[in-house]
Amino acid sequence: MLCDAGIVYLSEGRVVHAESPVAPGIDVLLTTGGRLTADTWREAVGHTDGPGGVGRFLVDSGRLSDAELEICHLGALFDAAYFALGTGSGPRGFQRGAAHWLGPVRPVDADAVERETRRRARLLDDLWPCPQVDTVPVVLRRPDPRCPAVTRRQRAVLELADGVRTPAEIARALGRPAFHTLIDIRRLAATGHVETPRPQATAPARSPGPGAVVWPDTVPGTVFADPCVDLLRRLRDALEATL
């Protein structure tokens, strides 16, 4: 399923993978995150003849255990699904039979994706109810001794907060899930370490040309505070009706 802010891969009504330009892919999480080297990843991609064999090669060759692959896959799936199914993200089209290059790992029920997406939205809102900080460049505030101390994870985020990088770019540079980075940034905003921007109107999306499949220009400004998981539920019901 092609969405405005990502792609959700389904098989027999279950979610098998998800991607979003906002969320680092599993390749970034494994390599930039330090679990695999870039050379090892390129080797895995080069040794697979067709789509769907990268994950199996990593396990069979001893680069990853089954448990490691499953944990990283689920983390990437839920991370990207949160953004792909966010507010303002609707289905653009469907491609029957499309398979993700990683290969089958562990399908997830649509209901589980729905629950986790809603839980993440509530968590962010409870931390700091200002979704604007999720998409704009992260700007440090002037040091204030009254602000609480930061954790090691938060310090790594602050070191990349140069007023140019967005939370998605910081997450990619650190090799961390985008949602986890949003948690750090919301907490940093709540404690006064980074600026909280004023709400701004989102520019209208530009329509792509006929037949084009592109990430829309509005993705960086999309607000994901209240994901529209009803989209996933309707898709699941439609798939079940065709079986």
Tens digits of per-residue pLDDT, 62-92? Answer: 999 999 999 999 999 999 999 988 755 555 5
- Residue 213 in any domain: the answer is no
**Residue 210 domain-assigned?**
no
Cβ–Cβ < 8 Å for 221, 166: no
Instruction: Note whether 77 and 17 are within 8 A (CB).
Output: yes
Query: Is residue 131 assigned to a domain?
Result: yes
- pLDDT, tens digit (0-9, with 9 covering 90-100), for 8-17: 888 888 999 9
Containing 3, the helix (H) or strand (E) segment is strand 2-3
CB atoms within 10 A of CB 96: 4
| Residue range of the domain that includes 110 | 2-200+220-242
Is residue 242 over pLDDT 90? no
Kindly state the DSSP code that residue 18 receives in the 8-state scheme: E
Domain assignment of residue 211, yes or no: no
Angle at 114 between CA 110 and CA 116, to 5 degrees: 115
- Measured CA to CA, the distance from residue 191 to residue 155 in angstroms comes to 13
Domain count for the chain: 1
Residue 209 has pLDDT above 90, yes or no: no
* Tens-place pLDDT, residues 32-62: 999 999 999 999 988 876 667 899 899 999 9
For residue 9, the cross-strand partners are: 17
